[in-house]
Structure 1
């Protein structure tokens, strides 16, 4: 391979890995949450009617108002949520879902650690209907949680008194049901005293999908105009992971188009009249909108076929991020009623579940809430294959190793040509050394004679680079799969590797646990430099693999390539252990393939560079 090609490939590989390393190791850490810095308790969203709005249009919920100690959820009664996957409660103030724990997931690997909290209320003190104080659903300390909740309501139509529609401070009455659970819906009721009765029914499956039905009955003598809506609100910017390979923020699909906006983009949206920074998208048939974290998501999804307005906006004064689903204005004639049903997903982004909800009830492109990245055409198939292997084997670590075998077999025909080319280049090493001695410092003449030699021997020096070039997108795709999919969170392999989505917790500094002091904390730069066991194995396998390749004739290149295994060993020490495991497995398979093929063609390599004085000159068939 000529120097220019070698330098280009080396620059590509190093640039890609340095970029990943920079964001993985040096990206700013999320700031520690100080309870004193938490936003003051705030009520949910109040509605502001527009008397001048034309008939048939919807009016926008106004910016959130800070209700301070007047927060209606502080003393309002609650209904419990209890299912195999969720625990929490619904506040009767506004009928909002603002207290939700994911009982299938814990904060840490400790089996006694708290369940992951997804939704949090604005007030910390809650009481029962009898006035007895009760604690929040068991979970992380709510004093450290930023309010995050879903609330539903009705916007008044033109000429409708805002006091006649329920707002987020309205305290509802329980009409039926005691605890929201699978097969046990609950219905809330509010009578405005002027002839209109509002009902809200919550249903829940055994996972994370709520069905919310809003009903308006008009017993008055005149038509009544109002429009239903749903809102997801986050108080303050959440503590995101701050990785460039991961999207966190608003996510949705509007008539087949994927929408992704991080929190900085939301705050920088262009102002909309009476809205502040906002984006309004008219959805004709299918769509959904909400917020996504790395592993968790909360989204509003009107029934398929239902037109609505998807809204993403930010209230600067209150520091609240919102996504909304505004449904069309309803005209309820006297003696009639209308109902609208929509879905609320609040849970973990497991592929199988998102795919099932995409099929039924038909939430369009729901699996694309997982951030598949630029290489989605590789990421999705690799995930499907890994998921299938995991189901077959039962252990995600061994599934990663099996995935490596499958991927290597797919590229084996190309790799075989590469290894044969390397064997031929080893055979040509003495001739290339002779050319170098003869041409001296004349680089142009050296390159010309080397290329003539390649042509004479019918060797393609670029063939050895093709597996490396193929490896780059596969590496990025697998990195994405391991980093963003919840299926690898807290997935064990063997021994000390109990979470393949986290860095290897071992460290050479304490002799891998033999010395009586702890290793540096995972995810820190010091931990990466402390040489976890998998990182050492990676460096060794890269070094062995390098010894099978023809040594560069240029001294500078030779030195760079000699240092590469050890540089990568330090760089990748802080990567997810599942990714490092894949790379080690890939190296070992490559070593076995390359050694076998080169030996079969009469050029068995020597690991320490002691090439035998005489090699058979037989060419590959």
Structure 2
């Protein structure tokens, strides 16, 4: 491969990075808040679409509201990971916060709120019920506005399930048992007994409803936020912009296994019907009220007098913790539940990379050092390929003086210069293309690690050393206050000043790239030489806004690469003198400048 092809590959790789960085620095614009339809009024507890479905007509409107959710009696929820309450209006789970996570790192910050009832700024809740059929009316089955009776006033805990009852007065009695584990999984068992004289036809359902868009919606191309469903092994992700209005959506039949819900950056709610029967999934939007919802409706059942029926649905409502979700998948039998985490195109890399990172963090006890340990492992795996590359670079570095002579003798005749250089490569048995492979391999690895650091919860608010208290955020230090020595705050992360007055980690990145570059062959073309000379400092500013964890990885990668390359080049008889070359370059520059007359 000649220098032109090599440069083409390098240009392609750099173009990839430039596109990635452009989208990071200039993400797609967020939707105009003025264009979003106003959320439903407080008195409207549910959208008028599919919230109280019937067996014959899934789009039947919900009945008028009973007392609003905040005013209805409540049952407390208290677990090691969750706190909140269940409203007896509809038996809805609509008040839930995550004990282990806080909104910010500021002292006294509130714990993260996940679900909120009607009457708050952003209602978001789960409810369950029975869809009427076969002559039943919506008033004869429990729905959104049913006032349930609690069998006791006990708190819902992992050791204490609670039960709700309701009788329709015409022969159907309903019971709902709710239990919860020590993490984030509710189990809701709905049962009905027909003590009347006529058959009753009805279908159990569960609904997740969200009023308006999330306040913390990132709208970033690298992360999916919105609807998510698994249908018989096939994952489907639906952006909020792609939710179809009620009446235009399609019901999806799940034959064996599946689940549906909403996924945010770090949190998720998911409905998982359990049992041997099939069920339908509906994902839709009520545009007038700006409410998004996903629904599961299980098989319609006809109960003869004296018969009973029951259906179970699990509700995951919590943080997307890898280990917890993996246990629900492996031990709880939830099909491909780990795919609820957005692993991206390179899932075959991101999944194992995160698994190794997770175990390293568990062993070391610090995510920053775990990232450095992961870098060492990646470099060890790639060493056989890197060895050939570094040997080739050492040989090319030795040939640099001869290449300079060829360039001088060829003058402006580029074709003759390329021919002589290729003959030199052939004579010395040097393959310049062998240096490209490690660069190309680094692209998917870098992107996969960026994806892991960006989307996985384990790096959120994870400290490293000193001033780095959140590896998922940019380096908070800044030259603006001389890295904390001056008595004023650094510019806000993401601002123009923060980009200009770079932090310590971006500065270390630039220096590490510059050191590594000193071991590589210098391009013969002046333009390429100038571009490569400026590249470390351009990347230093560009990547200054990236997550600290990613910058830590890149610095570690550069320094390990520098050490490997230096030792391999010495083993091949070439003794690089990085700082000696710098001094020599400075001497040549000084000698070429016109000398001042000391008499003047």
Range class of TM-score, shorter chain:
over 0.9
Q: Secondary structure, in 3 states, of the residue corresponding to 1:582?
A: helix
The answer on 1:60 being equivalent to 2:70 is no
Q: Closer, same or farther in 2 for the Cα pair 1:32/1:281, shift >3 Å?
A: closer
Of 73, 77, 81, which residue of structure 1 is paired with 2:73?
Answer: 77
The answer on 1:203 being equivalent to 2:179 is yes
Q: Secondary structure, in 3 states, of the residue corresponding to 2:581?
A: coil
Q: Secondary structure, in 3 states, of the residue corresponding to 1:251?
A: strand
CA contact (8 A) 2:127 2:144 kept: yes
Aligned to 1:138: none
Report Cα offsets for 1:268-315 as digits up to 9, x if no partner.
x3x6xxx33423210011000000001100000001533110111111
Aligned to 2:228: 251
Report Cα offsets for 1:403-426 as digits up to 9, x if no partner.
100000000011111111011101
Query: Shift of residue 559 of structure 1?
Result: 0.4
CA contact (8 A) 1:277 1:315 kept: no
Aligned to 1:225: 201
Q: Closer, same or farther in 2 for the Cα pair 1:284/1:587, shift >3 Å?
A: same
CA contact (8 A) 1:173 1:188 kept: yes
Q: Closer, same or farther in 2 for the Cα pair 1:525/1:260, shift >3 Å?
A: farther
The answer on 1:475 being equivalent to 2:446 is yes
Q: Give me the whole-angstrom Cα distance separating, in 2, the residues matched to 1:61 and 1:210.
A: 27
Aligned to 2:566: 595
CA contact (8 A) 2:256 2:276 kept: yes
CA contact (8 A) 1:160 1:224 kept: yes
Q: Closer, same or farther in 2 for the Cα pair 1:58/1:523, shift >3 Å?
A: farther
Query: Shift of residue 571 of structure 1?
Result: 0.5
Correspondences of 1:423-572 after superposition (within 5 Å) = 423-572=394-543
Query: Shift of residue 503 of structure 1?
Result: 0.8
Unaligned runs of 5+ in 2: 585-600
Q: Give me the whole-angstrom Cα distance separating, in 2, the residues matched to 1:484 and 1:92.
A: 36
Q: Give me the whole-angstrom Cα distance separating, in 2, the residues matched to 1:32 and 1:117.
A: 24
Aligned residue-pair number: 581
225-234 or 462-471, larger mean C-alpha shift: 462-471
Aligned to 1:4: 4
Q: Secondary structure, in 3 states, of the residue corresponding to 1:512?
A: coil
Q: Secondary structure, in 3 states, of the residue corresponding to 1:505?
A: coil
Query: Shift of residue 71 of structure 1?
Result: 5.5
Normalising to structure 2: TM-score of the pair? 0.92
Correspondences of 1:258-269 after superposition (within 5 Å) = 258-266=235-243, 269=244
Of 99, 103, 126, which residue of structure 2 is paired with 1:103?
Answer: 99
Correspondences of 1:106-145 after superposition (within 5 Å) = 106-124=102-120, 145=121
Query: Shift of residue 181 of structure 1?
Result: 0.9
Aligned to 1:327: 298
315-324 or 35-44, larger mean C-alpha shift: 35-44
Q: Closer, same or farther in 2 for the Cα pair 1:191/1:518, shift >3 Å?
A: same
Unaligned runs of 5+ in 1: 125-144, 614-621
Q: Give me the whole-angstrom Cα distance separating, in 1, the residues matched to 2:167 and 2:527.
A: 82
Q: Give me the whole-angstrom Cα distance separating, in 2, the residues matched to 1:597 and 1:246.
A: 40
Aligned to 1:43: 45
After TM superposition, where is structure 1 displaced by more than 4 Å over at least 4 residues in a row? 28-39, 45-51, 63-67
CA contact (8 A) 1:542 1:565 kept: yes
Of 329, 342, 345, which residue of structure 1 is paired with 2:313?
Answer: 342
Report Cα offsets for 1:368-412 as digits up to 9, x if no partner.
000000011111111111111111111111010011000000000
Query: Shift of residue 11 of structure 1?
Result: 2.3
CA contact (8 A) 1:165 1:192 kept: yes
569-578 or 359-368, larger mean C-alpha shift: 359-368
Q: Closer, same or farther in 2 for the Cα pair 1:573/1:32, shift >3 Å?
A: farther
Aligned to 1:154: 130
Aligned to 1:578: 549
CA contact (8 A) 2:48 2:286 kept: no
Of 206, 212, 218, which residue of structure 2 is paired with 1:241?
Answer: 218
**RMSD, matched Cα:** 2.4
Aligned to 2:597: none
Q: Give me the whole-angstrom Cα distance separating, in 1, the residues matched to 2:474 and 2:31.
A: 21
Q: Secondary structure, in 3 states, of the residue corresponding to 1:180?
A: coil
Report Cα offsets for 1:28-52 as digits up to 9, x if no partner.
575898999665323125687999x
558-567 or 442-451, larger mean C-alpha shift: 442-451
Q: Give me the whole-angstrom Cα distance separating, in 2, the residues matched to 1:49 and 1:243.
A: 30
Q: Give me the whole-angstrom Cα distance separating, in 1, the residues matched to 2:352 and 2:14.
A: 26
Aligned to 2:359: 388
Q: Give me the whole-angstrom Cα distance separating, in 2, the residues matched to 1:249 and 1:517.
A: 40
Q: Secondary structure, in 3 states, of the residue corresponding to 1:81?
A: strand
